[in-house]
């Protein structure tokens, strides 16, 4: 798994079991609800492929028992990844070749949903760019990871394609483009931040929502788990 290799780095022999098991736990979260489609970022596509492999192996290994228990030819659907939009992998504001991550040591590498307007503006203005102007066509982003990343973020926030953004803003210097990106990011993220602050101030409401969600999840997962135990011949 490329994610394990990237996260573990050169110290993979000392990587935690949590990091190693993460793809299997992700697969369990999907299969427990017999999901057919899962919205993910581009970097999670390999985890969906592993999930499909696990589902296919279970369906093949227990085909007879699955049929005998009235589940047809297969118990688990093979889930499809839903990877859409211009920013399927948002990269670091400090290095366009690395994924944006909250574990990055630099706070200027990412925009947090709890950041206020001034913080967002400061991070965007300090984002790494190159000396060239914004291109007018997609081909002009080749070999310019930071430019490509910022254009992708703008496009995603404004519900556009990268090509749309470049047609409108191509030729602009990055100082002007960053100003436009700041205004857009603040407008889109400020309501989210406000709602987060409201929810944090009302923990009892959050607890009730979580409890209700857990109940609904159990209603779906319970019968599926029981069916799996029947297929495997486990006593429940």
| Nearest-angstrom CA–CA distance, 83 and 152 | 14
Cα–Cα–Cα angle for 200, 154, 140, nearest 5°? 150
Contact 116, 193 (CB under 8 A): yes
Q: Which residues form the catalytic set?
A: 7, 99, 102
Q: What single string gives the DSSP state of each residue in the chain?
A: -HHHHHHHGGGGGG--HHHHHHHHHHHHHHHTTT-SEEE--GGGHHHHHHHHHHHHHHHHHTHHHHHHTT-TT-SS--PEEE--SS-SSPBPSS-TTSB--TTSS-GGG---TT--HHHHHHHHHTS---SSPPPSSGGGGTT-HHHHHHHHHHHHHTT--HHHHHHHHTT--HHHHHHHHHHHHHHHHHHHHHHHHHHHT-HHHHHHHHHHHHHHHHHHHHHHHHHHHHHHT---
């Amino acid at each position: 798994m490329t994610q394990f290799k990237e996260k573990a780095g050169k110290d993979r022999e000392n990587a935690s079991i949590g990091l190693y098991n993460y793809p299997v736990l992700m697969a369990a979260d999907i299969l427990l609800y017999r999901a057919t489609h899962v919205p993910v970022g581009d970097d999670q596509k390999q985890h969906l492929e592993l999930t499909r492999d696990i589902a296919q192996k279970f369906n093949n290994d227990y085909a007879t028992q699955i049929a005998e228990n009235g589940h047809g030819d297969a118990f688990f659907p093979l889930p499809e990844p839903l990877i859409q939009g211009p920013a399927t992998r948002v990269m670091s504001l400090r290095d366009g070749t690395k994924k944006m991550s909250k574990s990055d040591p630099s706070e200027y590498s990412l925009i947090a949903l709890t950041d206020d307007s001034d913080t967002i503006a400061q991070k965007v203005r300090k984002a790494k760019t190159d000396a060239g102007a914004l291109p007018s066509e997609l081909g002009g982003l080749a070999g310019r990871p930071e430019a490509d990343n910022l254009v992708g973020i703008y496009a995603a926030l404004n519900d556009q394609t990268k090509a749309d953004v470049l047609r409108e803003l191509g030729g602009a210097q990055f100082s002007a483009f960053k100003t436009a990106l700041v205004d857009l990011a603040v407008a889109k993220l400020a309501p989210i931040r406000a709602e987060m602050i409201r929810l944090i101030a009302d923990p009892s409401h959050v607890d009730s929502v979580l409890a209700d969600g857990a109940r609904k999840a159990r209603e779906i997962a319970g019968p599926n788990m029981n069916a799996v135990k029947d297929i495997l011949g486990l006593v429940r």
